A and B are shown apart, each in its own frame.
Chain A
């Protein structure tokens, strides 16, 4: 007989009877039950485990357990050269690799203080925004699945397929690109790339409208998400939320506007926030709507980039890449707006080595997920699923 202490759940007694492990919960009222949701649960979006204390269908407390996908990103960074970290950032948030690469490149370029060719910047913004659309499509589609609507998911994946083909054409890979390098790009985009992207934008606009009608305006969908998991703006800021989660609470905060990087200051787009007519500010539906609106804004950005982009004559995507990346002694925090929020890299350099002394990643999903305990209090199990889905976590980024 052995006494264990699990976080927040009181002590739990475990008795071993041959191979059978019998867990007896102590310090629990008779109507309470410990329910382990995950890590193999279908709607925890990966290997997240939520240990819930339930009273019937009501979850009185839910504690997230992380670390099932931990791959020592930060320790790895201390042991390889700067360019070798870029492919690894793809594997953090595997649904938006381009954005992660861009965030890391922006941080290192800030440390190196180098000038980037304009065409590189525009290409970066195009691929990053394409990737943002793809990522939001996955978020919206899987949110539909969480609430029992299967068809929108496959519609989303059908359209995402076109984006993946475009990105594959540019970079050679479908998910883990290693396309945006520090100071430049792996290669220029193919000759007809802009034309194809324009075709995609023209094709996708009506599809996005159809998706909106099919899922977001569905009566049952609204009933399931409106008023569920409300997060007030001040609490959201205190938790350090960012991205669509924070904007869902009504805060107009977008790093592309508020801490501009790359060519975003030259581009026109709105920071999408819910207007409170269709949804209650800060609920699951608001967060979902923000993602849906951001898809439109990304399409606008892509069109503008194609118009403004300088031609390919005499263009070398690798012209600004330093021969050897060895930054001066110092530290930098570079951040970028990822589909899931602020992805920041804190990099420390000792000035002698070609490897960072310290590289810390500030993950958006991890910070967003930290509010789970507050959000889940007193919710029903179906609502808990709706809340996890609206946070839109990628466990690769949560655990790193």
Chain B
């Protein structure tokens, strides 16, 4: 039976892969995109569920308990409800921008999934400038946010959009420099190669975070900047519900709102995966080989690889949620101060120090 299944899958995948209209290898793209879409969807469903449960436990509550055991199907019920809702476009909204906004937003966060190596055997597109592409393509989100905020024809949305654009564009600078430190340690921008360079029998000791004492600095800088890039607390000022109602998606409801949500949780996983790949070994097992206990060998392989990357990603998502439910929100000028006067100089310092370390320390 398993052989049959495998064969059937192969037949299917070959059929999809051979779909090449006008000589373009569209079939291959679709084939790679299907599992990625599912990963994004799962990171939404279980991200939202996890967020509600984690916040509930932090606040002495139970969280969702009604739908399914421990409320595990709550997000599905929410999505079903959102699908049924009427699709409202405000009368005075710019209809075109209002409709494409959430789509562009989701595409922006989802395109970066293409270069994430989920296991030694699976990467959507093995670009040799993968890291550069991942940093660059995220900026597309800004276009979606601006379209959504401007198209809504609502003053609060406009404020949210303008804040968001300023924030994301600013925080890309320390984030990119911090990631460059990782790229410098690897000597390549290829995500798959960066991951492979961190594998070894000692497990976590090969990860770049533990390879040089300076790597902690870009690691922390990127983590803070990534919080701002995905609009998470304490940098959630673009949607600041107590100030701007809901920021750039104030006017959205139903499925469009769900797509914005999907984009948010999608990019949360995306930045978590990037930080895991660059600093924490991506799909490499963190367990070392201890004498005859070959833990590292036992927990390596394509399936284990996907497991480790997703687990590392979920760990960072957990930290993001932990911070969100603990800290108040920064003010918009304090946010800019943190970016330009604290994170960016320190990113440059860590860049120079990493370069010196890489040249003079073997």
B and A form one assembly: yes
**Contact in complex: A42, B245 (CB < 8 Å):** yes
A12: B residues at CB distance < 8 A: none
- In Å, the complex CA distance between A154 and B61 comes to 9
Say yes or no: is B55 at the interface (Cβ < 8 Å to chain A): yes
B329: A residues at CB distance < 8 A: 147-149, 220, 224, 382
**Contact in complex: A155, B331 (CB < 8 Å):** no
Say yes or no: is B159 at the interface (Cβ < 8 Å to chain A): yes
Interface segment, one of B142-150, B234-242, B306-314:
B234-242
Say yes or no: is B60 at the interface (Cβ < 8 Å to chain A): yes
Q: Which residues of A contact B (CB under 8 A)?
A: 19-20, 33, 35, 41-43, 57, 144-151, 154-155, 158, 215, 218, 220-221, 223-224, 380-383, 385
Query: Of B55, B61, B243, which contacts A381 at CB under 8 A?
Result: B243
**Contact in complex: B236, A57 (CB < 8 Å):** no
Say yes or no: is B233 at the interface (Cβ < 8 Å to chain A): yes
Residue of A nearest to B155 (CB): A35
Residue of B nearest to A146 (CB): B242
List CB contacts (< 8 Å) of B281-331 with chain A.
325-331
B60: A residues at CB distance < 8 A: 154-155, 158
A35-B155, A42-B242, A43-B242 in contact; A224/B328 too (CB < 8 A)? yes
List 9 extra interface pairs beyond A224-B334, A381-B159, CB under 8 A. A42-B242, A42-B245, A147-B328, A149-B327, A151-B58, A218-B328, A220-B234, A220-B327, A383-B331
Query: Of B55, B59, B242, B333, which contacts A145 at CB under 8 A?
Result: B242
A218: B residues at CB distance < 8 A: 327-328
Residue of B nearest to A148 (CB): B329
- In Å, the complex CA distance between A215 and B333 comes to 21
Query: Of B58, B92, B233, which contacts A148 at CB under 8 A?
Result: B233
A35: B residues at CB distance < 8 A: 155
- In Å, the complex CA distance between A385 and B329 comes to 12
Min CB gap B263→A, angstroms: 21
- In Å, the complex CA distance between A20 and B159 comes to 23
Residue of A nearest to B334 (CB): A223
- In Å, the complex CA distance between A132 and B334 comes to 34
B84: A residues at CB distance < 8 A: none
- In Å, the complex CA distance between A57 and B156 comes to 11
Query: Of A42, A147, A151, which contacts B59 at CB under 8 A?
Result: A151
**Contact in complex: A224, B245 (CB < 8 Å):** no
A57-B332, A150-B55 in contact; A20/B243 too (CB < 8 A)? no
Pairs across A and B, CB under 8 Å, 20 listed: A19-B91, A33-B155, A35-B155, A42-B241, A42-B245, A57-B159, A147-B329, A148-B233, A148-B242, A149-B328, A151-B59, A155-B59, A155-B60, A158-B60, A221-B328, A223-B331, A380-B331, A380-B332, A380-B333, A385-B242
Number of interface residues of B (CB under 8 A): 29
A380: B residues at CB distance < 8 A: 331-333
Determine which residue in A41, A215, A381 has the highest number of CB atoms from chain B within 10 A of its CB, and name it.
A381
- In Å, the complex CA distance between A355 and B352 comes to 82
A224: B residues at CB distance < 8 A: 328-331, 334
Sorted from nearest, which 5 A-B pairs have the closest CB atoms?
A: A148-B329, A149-B328, A154-B59, A43-B242, A147-B328
- In Å, the complex CA distance between A128 and B299 comes to 63
B330: A residues at CB distance < 8 A: 220, 223-224
Residue of A nearest to B60 (CB): A158
A19: B residues at CB distance < 8 A: 91
**Contact in complex: B234, A148 (CB < 8 Å):** yes
Residue of A nearest to B236 (CB): A148
List CB contacts (< 8 Å) of B8-64 with chain A.
55, 58-61
- In Å, the complex CA distance between A150 and B155 comes to 25
**Contact in complex: B328, A385 (CB < 8 Å):** no
Min CB gap B329→A, angstroms: 3
Min CB gap B206→A, angstroms: 35
A220: B residues at CB distance < 8 A: 234, 327-330
B91: A residues at CB distance < 8 A: 19-20
**Contact in complex: A151, B326 (CB < 8 Å):** yes
Min CB gap B323→A, angstroms: 11
- In Å, the complex CA distance between A43 and B241 comes to 8
Min CB gap B342→A, angstroms: 13
Residue of B nearest to A145 (CB): B242
- In Å, the complex CA distance between A381 and B243 comes to 7
- In Å, the complex CA distance between A321 and B136 comes to 77
- In Å, the complex CA distance between A41 and B245 comes to 6
- In Å, the complex CA distance between A74 and B155 comes to 38
Determine which residue in A33, A150, A223, A381 has the highest number of CB atoms from chain B within 10 A of its CB, and name it.
A150
Residue of A nearest to B325 (CB): A151
**Contact in complex: A147, B242 (CB < 8 Å):** yes
A154: B residues at CB distance < 8 A: 59-61
Residue of A nearest to B237 (CB): A382
Query: Of A43, A145, A150, A383, which contacts B325 at CB under 8 A?
Result: A150
Min CB gap A120→B, angstroms: 36
Residue of A nearest to B330 (CB): A220
Min CB gap B209→A, angstroms: 26
B245: A residues at CB distance < 8 A: 41-42
- In Å, the complex CA distance between A381 and B331 comes to 9
Residue of B nearest to A142 (CB): B242
A42: B residues at CB distance < 8 A: 241-242, 245
Min CB gap B357→A, angstroms: 31
Determine which residue in A41, A220, A221, A383 has the highest number of CB atoms from chain B within 10 A of its CB, and name it.
A220
Query: Of A149, A155, A382, A383, which contacts B240 at CB under 8 A?
Result: A382
Determine which residue in A155, A381, A382 has the highest number of CB atoms from chain B within 10 A of its CB, and name it.
A382
Query: Of A33, A43, A158, which contacts B243 at CB under 8 A?
Result: A43
Residue of A nearest to B333 (CB): A380
A146: B residues at CB distance < 8 A: 242
